[in-house]
């Protein structure tokens, strides 16, 4: 009896659904991703199942699909790097605030670790030719033809506004690809939140290097949040501007970043 139970458990633990680079490239092509495209990726790799070769295979598939004339962009945010007095993702007891401030590390394009748990962005930053914008909270990583244009001169104030990499993504008619995640994780929608006066301006503070010293830099910005994003996604689905596919059991979505921002902007002006 014990042997039968062990056999059942072993079968339950077996990896059945495996996707390869060829599978991913075929699905990307079916979705409409083409050579030369500027593509922003938001992903939850845990939803994609077993990728033969891990996150690097997914990155290789994306790069080979858009080619050297294309561009891949990913958010590499560091919201955990905020001053403890700000509303970061981690809550630190007030008596430890000065300790954190005194021993914080300044933002570094290569060494500062994004706070996302997803492996894709972390692996992407290890790839040759990938550059990163300079923003201690809302940095972006990019590879390809427009990588330098996307990452150059990222303003510290209002770090997701039209002057940011997000604004350049829309200006250059880029596309957004959600791999295994929902509309609430769509970074492109954040750009639309800067179009009106609905949200209060806040002061955010994060450590940067200045004159070879670490200093806490105060920046004007909006608090990062995603209310209404799922509703915006539903409107996009109804207007049929979103293409869908599945990698294993994970739903993936592909759409124009410019169209998405326009719809999101209209939504935020009304709501």
For residue 265, how many other CB atoms are within 10 A of its CB?
18
pLDDT digits (tens, 9 = 90+) for 68-112: 999 999 999 998 889 998 865 467 888 889 998 999 999 999 999
- Smallest Cα–Cα separation from 41: which of 69, 66, 68, 78? 66
Q: What is the spatial distance between Cα 265 and Cα 78, in angstroms, rounded to a whole number? A: 25
pTM beyond 0.85: the answer is yes
pLDDT digits (tens, 9 = 90+) for 46-62: 898 899 999 999 999 99
């Amino acid at each position: 009896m014990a042997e039968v139970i062990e056999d059942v458990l072993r079968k339950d633990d077996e990896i059945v659904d495996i996707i390869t680079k060829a599978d991913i490239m075929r699905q990307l092509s079916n979705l409409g991703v083409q050579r030369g495209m500027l593509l922003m990726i938001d992903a939850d790799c845990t939803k994609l199942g077993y990728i033969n070769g891990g996150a690097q295979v997914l990155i290789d598939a994306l790069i080979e699909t858009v080619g050297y004339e294309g561009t891949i962009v990913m958010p590499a945010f560091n919201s955990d790097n905020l001053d403890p007095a700000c509303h970061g993702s981690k809550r630190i007891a007030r008596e430890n605030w000065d300790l954190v401030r005194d021993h914080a590390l300044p933002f570094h394009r290569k060494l500062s670790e994004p706070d996302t748990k997803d492996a894709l962005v972390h692996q992407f930053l290890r790839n040759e030719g990938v550059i990163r914008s300079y923003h201690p909270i809302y940095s972006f990583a990019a590879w390809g033809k427009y990588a330098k244009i996307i990452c150059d001169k990222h303003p510290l104030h209002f770090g997701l506004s039209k002057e940011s990499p997000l604004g350049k993504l829309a200006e250059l008619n880029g596309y957004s690809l959600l791999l295994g995640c929902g509309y609430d994780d769509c970074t492109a929608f954040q750009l639309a939140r800067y179009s009106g006066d609905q949200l209060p301006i806040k002061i955010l503070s994060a450590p940067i290097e200045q004159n070879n010293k670490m200093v806490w830099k105060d920046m004007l910005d909006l608090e990062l949040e995603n209310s209404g994003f799922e509703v915006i996604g539903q409107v996009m689905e109804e207007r049929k501007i979103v293409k869908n596919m599945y990698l294993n059991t994970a739903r993936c979505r592909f759409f124009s970043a410019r169209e998405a921002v326009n719809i999101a902007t209209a939504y935020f002006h009304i709501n």
